[in-house]
Structure 1
Amino acid sequence: MSSDSTTTDDGDPLEPGDDDNSPVGDGNTTPADNDDSRVTFEDGRYVYCVVSLGDDDDASFSTTGIDDEPVSLVRLENASIAAVVHPCEELYDSADLAEVKRWLVRHQTVIDRAADAFGTPLPFQFDTIIRGDDDTVRGWLREERDRLESTLADLRGHWEYRIDVIEREPPDEKTLLEGDDELKSLRDRIETASEGEAFLLRKQVDQRVKTLRQHRRENVTNRLQTQLEDCTREQRRLERRTSVDLGGEFDRSDAGERLCRLTVMAREADEEAIGSVLDEIAAEPGFEVRFTGPWPPYSFAPTFGDDQRDANR
């Protein structure tokens, strides 16, 4: 199984996120009731990510960011780290959900392009803003330098992958009968039982079917997580939806039950091994597996600069 990445009509990746736990956003950003509620300030820098420039003293980067703003690097002097930013004068908050989605997509697109240019970035969540100019950003980089460099070194060469396992069709009672003596015994007893006893036995059959189905789901989930340990560096279970979709998001209108949602961090070279593990699960009757990536490691990036981030939304 190979991983997929979700894209918009123009080819931009509809970024990680959460899915359901999405990594780009923190899940706390909600559309404003009206455009007048947008918080403004004299000068600020919207931060997409921090990257390592290595030994390239002449490194540069430019692209188009949210609302067509020019994106550039703010580099810390005498260091190999830089922030990918654009100038701004307000928070990105809107009652227009389509506009918010466009912002989120562009946020992810910029980070993807920075990743192509510099390798694994340290991605920041949507609407991370430092109040001040480029010198203010450099001051923050200087203050956090040790931690930023350490984190970038730790993440280097690793990417995030999202995995959803969905049970489309649970095994029916006939299938379960073939492998469970207790269920067979209950069924045999119904044949010779009185009407009242047969009623109670049928209830026991229903409960046994539910138990067997649940055991099957737990077995698949546990087996998946155990097998992934050999080809991933770290894995986490995702319980909530994030504000940006990393792709492959499970549509709750679909028939079926999500057994688990995992996010894993691994080297791109291990993608095939991850896919082989998932192929085994997908080959079992009734299961569907969705696998997306590689994404920047949103779920595995530490939180930086909460005091700098304008959270008055």
Structure 2
Amino acid sequence: MPVYVYAVTLGDHPCRLDGVSGVGAGSAPLRTVPAGDLKAVVSDVHEEVGPRRRDLVAHQAVQDRLLEDGTPLPLQFGYTAPDDDAVRQVLKEQADLYLGALERVRGCVEYNVKASWDEEHILRRILEESPSARSLNEQIRAGTDDPRLALELGQYVADEVQQRHSDAAAGIIDTLVPLAREHAVHAPTGEDFLNLSLLVARGPDGEGALQVAHADLVGDGETGVEIRVAGPLPPYSFVG
């Protein structure tokens, strides 16, 4: 029977899965497939699993429960195998790879850091701090007939916003990355100018230090930068 695979853990992970439902319409019970020093967390599936909200939530709930007792290797949503034997065979064949990856994230969790800048705030700062932008803006507001001034101001502001975003992102990275065992910078989306993942040791030296650093970064409300930290999370960004 096909099985849905949620994560790989060390063989001594307790895998306390009581009360957690699996993906799929039937919500089949969760169980483990052991293989040497490893085991996989799986459930039977009777239909193709798609990115429905219920199944996405169920997938993440399993990862969160496993994370309570030790860092698992979370698989991306949608991974299935033909049966238990196929899962066991992969665990045996790739044992060194999985064990190395588990050692890499042992005792750690992922934190995701995103940053955005209030558009009105940054535009106001540019006009206040840049004589060139202020002069162009004043000429436009005075009713100039030269259409090139609006284009020039628009390009100047766009370039300035990009540079300030780059500088702000670099400052946040320089502050937070030393607190992590590893980091990964992702392409930001939407209004964000930074999307940073950190592999952080559990406890005061890792998570605690990150919380203090985050508080220090957001302490100056005059910057207009919003820094959002999500976690602890399963280490999706560090399982490759």
TM value normalised by structure 2: 0.79
Which residue in 2 is equivalent to 1:132? 83
Residue from 157, 162, 165 that aligns with 2:112: 162
Return the match for 2:202 from 268, 284, 301: 268
Once the two structures are TM-superposed, the CA of residue 110 in structure 1 deviates from its matched residue by 1.2
Q: Please, which of 162, 165, 172 is the counterpart of residue 217 of structure 1?
A: 165
Report the structure, 1 or 2, having the larger helix content: 2
How far 1:212 sits from its partner (Å)? 3.2
C-alpha contact 1:263 1:299 (8 A) present in aligned 2:
yes
Q: CA deviation at 1:168?
A: 1.8
For 1:1-313, list aligned pairs within 5 A: 43-54=1-12, 61-63=16-18, 64-66=21-23, 67-76=26-35, 79-93=36-50, 100-117=52-69, 119-133=70-84, 135-171=85-121, 175-176=125-126, 178-180=128-130, 186=135, 204=152, 207-239=155-187, 257-269=191-203, 270-282=206-218, 283-302=221-240
**Structure 1 residues 170 and 129 mapped into 2: Cα distance closer, same or farther (>3 Å)?**
same
Q: Which has the higher contact order (CA 8 A, sep 6+)?
A: 1
Distance 1:81 1:173, change over 3 A: closer
Contact 2:17–2:65 (Cα < 8 Å) also in 1 = no
Separation in structure 2 between the aligned mates of residue 258 and residue 264 of structure 1, nearest angstrom: 17
SS in 1 for 2:178: coil
Write the letter of the residue equivalent to 1:114. L
Distance 1:205 1:104, change over 3 A: closer
Counterpart of 1:125, as a letter, is Q
**What's the % identity of the aligned pairs?**
28
Query: Per the alignment, do residues 175 and 153 of structure 1 end up closer, same or farther by CA in structure 2, a change over 3 Å counting?
Result: closer
Give 5+ residue unaligned stretches, structure 2: none
CA contact (8 A) 2:181 2:199 kept: yes
1:206 offset after TM fit, Å?
5.2
Range with greater deviation from structure 2 (206-215 or 103-112)? 206-215
Name the SS of the counterpart of 1:229 in structure 2: helix
Contact 2:110 2:198 in 1 (8 A): yes
Local SS of the residue matching 2:208: helix
How far apart in 1 are the matches of 2:235 and 2:121?
Answer: 36
Please report how far the alpha carbon of residue 265 of structure 1 lies from its aligned counterpart in structure 2 after TM superposition: 1.6
Unpaired runs of at least 5, structure 1: 1-42, 242-251, 303-313
* DSSP 3-state at the match of 2:164: helix
Paired residues of 1:159 and 1:265 also in contact (CA < 8 A): yes
Mapped contact 1:167–1:286 kept (Cα < 8 A): yes
Relative to structure 1, the CA distance from residue 222 to residue 47 in structure 2 (aligned partners, 3 Å threshold; closer, same or farther) is same
Write the distance in 2 (CA, Å) between the matches of 1:168 and 1:178.
15
RMSD: 3.1
CA distances 1:106-139 after superposition (whole Å, capped 9, x unpaired) = 111112212223x000011122111123x33222
Query: Which amino acid counterpart does residue 273 of structure 1 have in structure 2?
Result: A
Structure 1 length normalisation: TM-score? Answer: 0.62
Partner of residue 16, structure 1: none
Report how many residues are paired: 229
Given that residues 122 and 224 in structure 2 are in contact (C-alpha distance below 8 angstroms), is that contact kept between their aligned partners in structure 1? no
